Amino acid sequence: MYMNYGDRNFFEYGILVDTEHSDTVFDIIFCRPYCDEDNLFQFAECQVDITDSWIAKNTVMDCIGMTKENFDPVQFAIGCVDYYGVENFSSSYDGYQHDREYIEDILKHRMIASDNLDITW
């Protein structure tokens, strides 16, 4: 089940993470609005393996303000996407530019917890 780690309004700064299947590999769905376009969003699903050797762990941790003592694998995975961009992880939905209706149609087929989320599909 996907849990919300972003804004309560998914279409503002949405980050959904499936945390049930692994401690090191996370499926992440994110959404960000385009500032100059109404009803157009950068939207992608990606998979982040936080044990990948190419990830500069200390660099990402420094960027997101994480220390070894407060290491959180989910927040680290989100930080990897923020730092490297979704294009560096296996992802779906080429082009990444989609309208709200298209995104809602995709999300209604996912198991998403409604905790801390103001949108229902």
pLDDT digits (tens, 9 = 90+) for 102-118: 999 999 989 999 888 88
Question: 36 is written with which tokens?
Answer: 């100059």
41: which strand partners?
33, 98
Q: Cβ(13)–Cβ(29) under 8 Å?
A: no
pTM (global) more than 0.75: yes
pLDDT, tens digit, for every residue of 2-42? Answer: 999 999 999 989 999 998 888 999 999 989 898 888 889 98
Is the separation of the CB atoms in 14 and 30 below 8 Å? yes
More confident residue, 20 or 92: 20
Token readout for 60 is: 């990402």
The pairing of beta strand 97-98 with beta strand 41-49:
antiparallel
